[in-house]
Amino acid sequence: MEKSKTWHENHHNSRGFGQRLADGVANGMGSWTFIIAQTIVVALWMSLNVIAFIKHWDPYPYILLNLLFSTQAAYAAPIIMMAQNRQGERDRAQATSDYETNLEAKKEIEELMERLNNIELQKLDKIITLLEEMKK
């Protein structure tokens, strides 16, 4: 199995069905499309109940509508919390990846500094040798 290149790909590929579903629901419910659609449905619900000629299926104070909202909230809250937990996992994965990258960069910089110091010492040794030869 080929290892993905980035922490994000690794994390994205490790999601199960429930995690993908929670992310999708949270993304959908956190969008303007959802808010606008829900506002339209509520406005239609209330309007149809106000102007209903024969039977008001949910008269004011719209108890059935409140029950639907309560049910929606009862399911939405834990699903959104699951998505937030996944965001926390993504943040931890990114922080770990950044830390590992920084450690690797630090090692490479230290190795480069050591090489530069060795080159400088070699040059100084050559200069000293040349100066000693010039004195003789």
Question: Tens of pLDDT along 126-136?
Answer: 999 999 988 87
pLDDT for 86 equals 85
Helix residue ranges, H only, 14-62: 17-29, 32-51
pLDDT for 23 equals 85
Put simply, whether the predicted model's pTM sits higher than 0.85 gets the answer no
pLDDT for 4 equals 55
**CA of residue 12 relative to chain centroid, distance:** 10
Place of tokens 């999708």: 24
pLDDT for 34 equals 93
pLDDT for 1 equals 43
pLDDT for 108 equals 97
Which stretches in the chain have pLDDT values below 50?
1-2
